[in-house]
Structure 1
């Protein structure tokens, strides 16, 4: 469906006008909970009623978190309009309004900011921890580059823990027993030690067998749980004006994990007549990972190209011989201090985290013995933020801030190749083992920022807002391989000696920034300063330390909001945001001067309306937006010198526009109806010279074909024909194939393709009805339906990486005996829809996918004291 942005605004504006003309009434808070309750948010770095904030924010308070089963970030999908959730292993990959989280490597930053108690989390998986004893969860849609920072390119997710309070000693505990032998225990305790000191403890433990079943006894189920979490908070309020909250939390996850990138192979593409891989040709349901050859011809292909995919089409059943593992640990310390000076409040937000995760997985996704992968990631992160926030009720409100951030990252990837054993292979036994792979990356970021935002009430109803932020990121990057620690045979490092236990390589392997190189290889232009090769063989590359890169950017926001009536707000804004630049971690990219890529930017426009009607029984929030993305960091093929590189480059442009709705209706105190809906049109306006995964072009025999010449370059000799990825606009990359140019390279123009994880429509509807049982308490049935249109998982937009439209149903039945005791039974994904959360093309040309959980059930008992 094609809808212009002018048509979208033309249809949305009259609807908003009609709603705004409806008489409104002041919100009434009643002791029995009648009407829609207020939610206080900090989306503008000060406490405000959600309905008074002139930006798109979705928020869920403590009661809603329990009611809707929001026990991790993934549960926000559908409930938050325009938000989709992707995941691979423990890596969260959220998407908002056409911005998705693609890379989670140490040389990349998040594009949807993750904040816990106001502190930015540099690794996306950190925000999936500790969904216990929360005060609220907020999701801001659209760039938040002024008040929140550089990596809130598409929005941000803010998780707020419950703070200690002075109201008394109380606590609670929950026990959940469910599918796959799940046992989950969590609890909290609030303890005021005096009028000025209070403690709060929260913790949890979870164990389960995993919902992806492995039939191979040597392997194990995936997405099992062995989780532990503890949090301790101390609140100090020595005077009326000074408050400090000190917090420590620790999380650990173990078990088999969920595989690093995907846990199921979907298939591959082949040009059947020539038995060559050609993208988007015939889909073939084969595991073509290297080494998976059983000597059997794989029809319709004429030769053996792999083994049949196990349980194709069933994402919850695998047959892997290698037992993967997960060991994730995160320790965090924070201090939030606020001092009321009268006219302003001075705030200090300090955070430090120490994060480590180790993962292993079956590299061949099969019962064959071929190889295993190992990933290690660590992040030591320090941040300090200072704010001055205006107080009072005058016409001027402002926030001034300064921010410091330092992140030290390490990432190691190892592939170990075993002596290959393929079930069903009846060929004569032979030792078959190829070399493994080892790469270690180290990165450091030091960021400084200053920002200011002010709002001025021109009249009692009209307010203008302006803000600006200046950010300076300095980044260092280095990488190395295992050549220096491997044995030599015949003058070359032995790749088959690489194992998952290959230790860290020495610091000297990474070279020294700016130092003269000892490398003498001739396969690339002259090696750069900071490069290091083996002393005994200076043609063998070992590692490099790049020159530091600095990225600077100013972002801004301007807005108007008009209080049409006491409970009706109309607003409009324009804002910018950016995601920081980074490094291409390859030897060739560094040697050829393409080691860095610049920040990607967004300019966003939004109009919206927030309303309460009918004596506080109806809430309707609407927004329409248009985002323009530039300098997108995308993978692309480019000619450089005498070679062609596949690197991340600022080569993409895109735009997204759409409309979003959030509604609550309480026709009676006992009945609550919720709805959210998002329409989204997000596509690339420029994205070319892109290599199709495993098969951009091939040559096939054609006795009648003359030579094919493009721009003076022969791309197919006489008697042969060059075929390109089926259905795509592909061809010779300019600047390749000619005299004095790199060899002929081919790419495709993906301009006009849909942005990954951007369904045209998505949303949810839910209903809860409270049945009064008198002295027996209250019974509350709850039903929620999440739905989504189809979307693609990769920018290439092929038939294999498409998730079809779906609807999921969740059911919950809660019996509250009184304020202290309750029992809830639940079924999630009642319709048992298998929906992909991540697609990626991996080794052998296979598409790999990760999937959201199937139908699951459980019973949750709660006690408060």
Structure 2
């Protein structure tokens, strides 16, 4: 496959025409797959994916860049929206926690306190808690997605890649904008910012806000109240101090809160099977194939002999988005942080940068675990964490040499876990029916890194990088089961270290084509299954799991043709994982275990074509072959099967094919105003949500359609945008969970948004 990719790149490079834009020259930010058209063709975009400003087409790596205009045109308001605009990226969510996957690797564990394999950065700050990323999607200058392991420059937990959000900064001129959105489900959304000088040329400030209120996408038919509604508030303030031309100091703070009935469990059927049909206090009924009937469903009135007829106990579910639970979901989230970014130009060729940050994350979600109107089992999941990070960088450039050295320190403390309250009707008010699994985690991480690029001859560069990481983790396990008076605790600690090098070569042909090849290593720290106390009797589980390691081999090609009107960015890759971390729900506990080996290979393409002025055709797509090479495990939901060989099974959240085709047509009216029309056709093949590749946890292949129309006044100050997303109102799963045996293996799903439409009124000044 690699040989074929190199041959394809060479073939495409041969007829290429020259294209404007020096690699180091400033360029307007624009989206590579939907860039602004200019008289010379497609515009350029500058990114900082390699910790320095570069033209995207000169970066020897698989990087997607999205400008602020592109973000607005594509209605990117969340991680979920991002997946339709980046090749190789998929998204899922469970309990409101973003599960971003790149090339089949991402956030595998659904428990609070879990670490993702795709790093997330906002303004250079690493976000350890995936849930907290929901508070950054507004007032954005650009988004950069770096695909593939990033062990050298990004380090911690970037074995899948990195998503980088860069927010708008203060301006020297007084300016701002306001956007009001009105939509179905009674949506009222607002986003706006004010920016300008406090002391001209010395002290600049910017304040941005975002709010969103809407009714629920469904109802709890047992209570008559809305679920999947939203009420969020976000705020960010940024201050730039410019004491001299060589020194820039940026201070910022942000705050985000949610208080609604979002993220409920949607019951989608039974999920357990035991063809031996033993007597069980948890599995009340069995179908002919051994399907286990969930406890709450059975108690609520299923007829013996007809256990699959879900409609016997609840009204016909004309809307799949409804639930029928005795309690309402309660979502409570607060994220905030402060940061300090200091940049000092020591000389014309050497620069120093320091990024310091403190972040606090709290979220709590209360749900009905048995998915029925019977008051059988309730669950409350909590994540309460704070982190401090400090990164130092020293970089420089000469005629032939570009270099960077740095150091990184990270400190985090997490208190997390979940409470399950069994048979609440019999609770004495002191938690007599309560099970708690969780505890606290302390992490200290240290790293030193460097990357050097040397131009051996004109247009031929060699890159060498390396990072040494050391991480120490300590945990306090807690497992309490009140009915029996059990209270187990245990403390553990362990250190993990890794050396992650990178080797690369890139060459720019006379025609302007960039060819590159890289070999790199990635590392994700090991950890502990919090709450899993060895020898504790009920639901005892071995607690520790090993680090995840990967070697990555990638080749790529970037070029423009036809007088700068066709852009093709193609990459092919092969990833070899050792001790890949995967998870399952076993004995009331989310258990992370290590798959011995996994292999991932694939091809990604981002193509933009400007056939005539005003018409832009963009296509992003990927082919992914992501399978386990050696892995034995037992599926807790199939009690009769035992340990199975998972070799050849696809990795979770790794569809074989995915693509987005987005034509955009923009034209100028006689008045000087501009009108634009955009459509999106999205296809994604089948993806599984567990390594067992069973139909009880899968999203089948599907299509999705989005569209919007935009109008901008001649002076550029006023705008009106109308949008419609998920035009066919299809129901797609963004994640499924098969819950534990005490509730009879209920199968719960989290759903992508239904058809939404609305109008956004905008004003700039």
- TM norm structure 2: 0.91
Equivalent residue for 2:305, pick from 299, 308, 312 = 299
Is the 8 Å Cα contact of residues 403 and 450 (structure 1) preserved in structure 2? yes
Is the 8 Å Cα contact of residues 390 and 399 (structure 1) preserved in structure 2? yes
Alpha-carbon distance between aligned partners in 2 of 1:79 and 1:340, rounded to the nearest angstrom? 35
Offset from partner CA, 1:405-459 (integer Å, 9 cap, x none) = 00010113112234569xxxxxxxxxxx993212341001010100001000011
Is the 8 Å Cα contact of residues 338 and 357 (structure 2) preserved in structure 1? yes
- Residue of structure 2 in register with 1:556 after alignment: 501
1:635 CA displacement: 5.1
Is the 8 Å Cα contact of residues 654 and 688 (structure 2) preserved in structure 1? yes
Structure 2 SS opposite 1:774? coil
Alpha-carbon distance between aligned partners in 1 of 2:377 and 2:311, rounded to the nearest angstrom? 15
Alignment of 1:278-357 (within 5 A): 288-290=294-296, 292-294=298-300, 296-300=302-306, 315-342=320-347, 343-357=349-363
1:696 CA displacement: 3.2
Is the 8 Å Cα contact of residues 423 and 433 (structure 2) preserved in structure 1? no
Q: Which moved more, 1:772-781 or 1:383-392?
A: 772-781
* 1:154 maps onto 2:51 in alignment: no
1:105 CA displacement: 3.4
Is the 8 Å Cα contact of residues 265 and 365 (structure 1) preserved in structure 2? no
Do the aligned partners of residues 621 and 387 (structure 1) sit closer, same or farther apart at CA in structure 2, a change above 3 Å counting?
A: same
Equivalent residue for 2:237, pick from 229, 232, 237 = 232
- Residue of structure 1 in register with 2:512 after alignment: 567
Alpha-carbon distance between aligned partners in 2 of 1:418 and 1:556, rounded to the nearest angstrom? 54
Alpha-carbon distance between aligned partners in 1 of 2:293 and 2:251, rounded to the nearest angstrom? 52
Do the aligned partners of residues 257 and 437 (structure 1) sit closer, same or farther apart at CA in structure 2, a change above 3 Å counting?
A: same
Offset from partner CA, 1:593-635 (integer Å, 9 cap, x none) = 9542220111110000011122221110000000011012245
Do the aligned partners of residues 163 and 188 (structure 1) sit closer, same or farther apart at CA in structure 2, a change above 3 Å counting?
A: same
Alpha-carbon distance between aligned partners in 2 of 1:301 and 1:827, rounded to the nearest angstrom? 39
Do the aligned partners of residues 88 and 609 (structure 1) sit closer, same or farther apart at CA in structure 2, a change above 3 Å counting?
A: same
Do the aligned partners of residues 677 and 266 (structure 1) sit closer, same or farther apart at CA in structure 2, a change above 3 Å counting?
A: same
Is the 8 Å Cα contact of residues 270 and 282 (structure 1) preserved in structure 2? no
Equivalent residue for 1:836, pick from 733, 737, 748 = 733
Offset from partner CA, 1:780-805 (integer Å, 9 cap, x none) = 11101111111211111112222111
- Residue of structure 2 in register with 1:207 after alignment: 213
- Residue of structure 1 in register with 2:762 after alignment: 862
Structure 1 SS opposite 2:534? helix
- Residue of structure 1 in register with 2:184 after alignment: 179
Offset from partner CA, 1:766-788 (integer Å, 9 cap, x none) = 01111321216121111011111
Is the 8 Å Cα contact of residues 214 and 319 (structure 1) preserved in structure 2? yes
1:654 CA displacement: 0.6
- Residue of structure 2 in register with 1:793 after alignment: 689
Alpha-carbon distance between aligned partners in 1 of 2:132 and 2:558, rounded to the nearest angstrom? 32
Do the aligned partners of residues 692 and 273 (structure 1) sit closer, same or farther apart at CA in structure 2, a change above 3 Å counting?
A: closer
1:310 CA displacement: 6.6
Alpha-carbon distance between aligned partners in 2 of 1:360 and 1:584, rounded to the nearest angstrom? 22
1:24 CA displacement: 1.7
- Residue of structure 2 in register with 1:463 after alignment: 461
Equivalent residue for 1:626, pick from 561, 567, 574 = 574
* 1:14 maps onto 2:20 in alignment: no
- Residue of structure 2 in register with 1:128 after alignment: 134
Alpha-carbon distance between aligned partners in 2 of 1:53 and 1:362, rounded to the nearest angstrom? 49
Alignment of 1:509-548 (within 5 A): 540-546=486-492, 548=493
Do the aligned partners of residues 579 and 298 (structure 1) sit closer, same or farther apart at CA in structure 2, a change above 3 Å counting?
A: farther
Structure 2 SS opposite 1:680? strand
- Residue of structure 2 in register with 1:605 after alignment: 553
1:222 CA displacement: 2.7
Is the 8 Å Cα contact of residues 267 and 746 (structure 2) preserved in structure 1? no
Offset from partner CA, 1:701-752 (integer Å, 9 cap, x none) = xxxxxxxxxxxxxxxxxxxxxxx3xxxxxxxxxxxxxxxxxxxxx3111111
Is the 8 Å Cα contact of residues 171 and 864 (structure 1) preserved in structure 2? yes
Is the 8 Å Cα contact of residues 315 and 851 (structure 1) preserved in structure 2? no
- Residue of structure 1 in register with 2:444 after alignment: 446
- Residue of structure 2 in register with 1:425 after alignment: none
1:308 CA displacement: 5.5
Structure 2 SS opposite 1:405? strand
Alpha-carbon distance between aligned partners in 1 of 2:758 and 2:406, rounded to the nearest angstrom? 45
Do the aligned partners of residues 444 and 820 (structure 1) sit closer, same or farther apart at CA in structure 2, a change above 3 Å counting?
A: same
1:831 CA displacement: 2.1
Is the 8 Å Cα contact of residues 634 and 652 (structure 1) preserved in structure 2? no
Aligned length: 735
Alpha-carbon distance between aligned partners in 2 of 1:337 and 1:590, rounded to the nearest angstrom? 50
- Residue of structure 1 in register with 2:259 after alignment: 254
* 1:97 maps onto 2:103 in alignment: yes
Alignment of 1:570-585 (within 5 A): 570-585=515-530
Offset from partner CA, 1:333-374 (integer Å, 9 cap, x none) = 011111001131000011111111111111221222223211
- Residue of structure 2 in register with 1:820 after alignment: 717
Is the 8 Å Cα contact of residues 146 and 556 (structure 1) preserved in structure 2? yes
Alpha-carbon distance between aligned partners in 1 of 2:201 and 2:11, rounded to the nearest angstrom? 51
Alpha-carbon distance between aligned partners in 2 of 1:863 and 1:595, rounded to the nearest angstrom? 54
Larger radius of gyration between Structure 1 and Structure 2: 1
Do the aligned partners of residues 298 and 55 (structure 1) sit closer, same or farther apart at CA in structure 2, a change above 3 Å counting?
A: farther
Structure 1 SS opposite 2:727? coil
Alpha-carbon distance between aligned partners in 2 of 1:297 and 1:323, rounded to the nearest angstrom? 26
Do the aligned partners of residues 253 and 283 (structure 1) sit closer, same or farther apart at CA in structure 2, a change above 3 Å counting?
A: farther
- TM norm structure 1: 0.80
Q: Which moved more, 1:395-404 or 1:11-20?
A: 11-20
Structure 1 SS opposite 2:2? helix
Alignment of 1:387-402 (within 5 A): 387-392=393-398, 394-402=399-407
Alpha-carbon distance between aligned partners in 2 of 1:822 and 1:245, rounded to the nearest angstrom? 31
Alpha-carbon distance between aligned partners in 1 of 2:535 and 2:406, rounded to the nearest angstrom? 36
Structure 1 residue ranges without an equivalent (≥5):
1-7, 422-432, 494-539, 698-723, 725-745
* 1:662 maps onto 2:606 in alignment: yes
* 1:589 maps onto 2:489 in alignment: no
Is the 8 Å Cα contact of residues 16 and 560 (structure 2) preserved in structure 1? no
Alpha-carbon distance between aligned partners in 1 of 2:451 and 2:639, rounded to the nearest angstrom? 49
- Residue of structure 2 in register with 1:770 after alignment: 666
Structure 2 residue ranges without an equivalent (≥5):
22-26, 29-35
Structure 2 SS opposite 1:139? strand
Offset from partner CA, 1:174-229 (integer Å, 9 cap, x none) = 000011110001101111121111101100111111213322326x4332111101
- Residue of structure 2 in register with 1:222 after alignment: 227
- Residue of structure 1 in register with 2:33 after alignment: none
1:562 CA displacement: 0.5
Structure 1 SS opposite 2:240? strand
Is the 8 Å Cα contact of residues 446 and 474 (structure 1) preserved in structure 2? yes
Is the 8 Å Cα contact of residues 298 and 306 (structure 1) preserved in structure 2? no
Alpha-carbon distance between aligned partners in 2 of 1:88 and 1:310, rounded to the nearest angstrom? 26
Equivalent residue for 1:60, pick from 51, 62, 66 = 66
Alpha-carbon distance between aligned partners in 2 of 1:693 and 1:800, rounded to the nearest angstrom? 13
Alpha-carbon distance between aligned partners in 1 of 2:101 and 2:707, rounded to the nearest angstrom? 26
- Residue of structure 2 in register with 1:413 after alignment: 418
Alpha-carbon distance between aligned partners in 2 of 1:480 and 1:306, rounded to the nearest angstrom? 40
Structure 2 SS opposite 1:770? strand
